[in-house]
Amino acid sequence: MKAIKELTKEKLTEITLKRKWAHGKWIKLNSKVYNAVMKVEEATFVDGALSKKHKELIALGIGVITDCESCMQWHMEQAVQAGATQQEVIEAIEVAIEMGIVPATVHARFALEVMDSLFESNPS
């Protein structure tokens, strides 16, 4: 298992370095859009009706659903810094797993409608 942990640590370090590099590059370019996104992020992840911790756990789940590795890493780190426990992180990921599966059942409704239309005269 050590090799996997080392590979994971190396990958996480690479993601962090790329994120920091890109952030610095956008700041140097003085991108109005990027700067606005940073202000939105700052406004979003403050305690309100939902705590910063809970907002970060939500963002983690969205990162899982969208397969954004950098998002997963960043928001998990931020959630833990905001006091999230390992069990809370696990449950946020589990909610994301469920939300990744359930849309397939919703999409399958259309397939059921098509099936009914094709086999309407020959029900089983």
pLDDT tens, residue by residue, 45-82: 999 999 999 999 999 999 999 999 999 999 999 999 99
Q: What domain count does the chain have?
A: 1
**Residue 9 is assigned to a structural domain of this protein:** yes
**Residue 116 is assigned to a structural domain of this protein:** no
Instruction: Provide, rounded to the nearest whole percent, the portion of the chain with pLDDT above 90.
Output: 86
In contact, 65 and 100? CB cutoff 8 Å? yes
What is the spatial distance between Cα 2 and Cα 39, in angstroms, rounded to a whole number?
39
Q: Which domain holds residue 10?
A: 1-44
**Residue 52 is assigned to a structural domain of this protein:** no
Asked whether residue 103 carries a pLDDT value surpassing 70, the answer given is: yes
Report the 10 Å Cβ neighbour count for 59. Answer: 22
**Residue 40 is assigned to a structural domain of this protein:** yes
**Residue 51 is assigned to a structural domain of this protein:** no
**Residue 58 is assigned to a structural domain of this protein:** no
Q: What is the pLDDT of residue 120?
A: 83
**Residue 89 is assigned to a structural domain of this protein:** no
pLDDT tens, residue by residue, 25-40: 999 999 999 999 999 9
Confidence class of residue 1 from pLDDT cuts 50, 70 and 90? low
Q: What is the pLDDT of residue 121?
A: 67
**Residue 73 is assigned to a structural domain of this protein:** no
